Amino acid sequence: MKCPYCNADGTKVIDSRPADDNASIRRRRQCEKCGKRFTTYEKLETMPLMVIKKDNSREPYDRSKIENGILQSCHKRPVSTQQIAKVIDEIENELFSMEEKEIPTSVIGEKVMRTLKDLDEVAYVRFASVYREFKDVNTFVEEIGKLLKSAPGKQDEA
């Protein structure tokens, strides 16, 4: 493992412990050259997952794409980075537990929307507006109407 500070090759493990509900291992490391400490995470390598896009092209699964979409949706919302990381881990675990080699983006998008709906309704509507490519205000209002109908006790507030 290379040191992220001085790029030296020699690092030693100071501490190891389970992380992410035993899905990975957190390791504290120390550079043998500069002495600085840093943390790494080890995850089980899974089979490569391909994503089938809307135009039927395929590309390797990229966690950062889900992360970027959720981060943008949750911008300036009362959602912590820990909550976002947990949500992404849950979505990723669901995807890999499907044991499929190829998954359509529609499946991924629906999982993200379902999770965001429970996490933060504004973030959900933001994500849905981009994901479902809302063409006009009426489509936006329809989605909010569905959200209000599905939330118990929310109709009285509207």
State whether 61 and 27 are in the same domain: no
Q: Could you list the pLDDT tens digit for every one of the 158 residues in the chain?
A: 899 999 999 999 999 998 877 778 999 999 999 999 999 988 876 667 899 999 999 999 999 999 999 999 999 999 999 999 999 999 998 998 888 889 999 999 999 999 998 999 899 888 988 877 777 777 778 877 877 777 665 444 44
What 3 state SS string does the chain have?
CCCCCCCCCCEEEEEEEEECCCCEEEEEEEECCCCCEEEEEEECCCCCCEEECCCCCEEECCHHHHHHHHHHHCCCCCCCHHHHHHHHHHHHHHHHHCCCCEEEHHHHHHHHHHHHHHHCHHHHHHHHHHHCCCCCHHHHHHHHHHHHHHCCCCCCCC
Answer yes or no: pTM beyond 0.85. Answer: no
State whether 86 and 115 are in the same domain: yes
Q: Does residue 80 lie within any of the structural domains?
A: yes
Per the structure, the count of domains in the chain is 2
Range of the domain at 15: 11-43
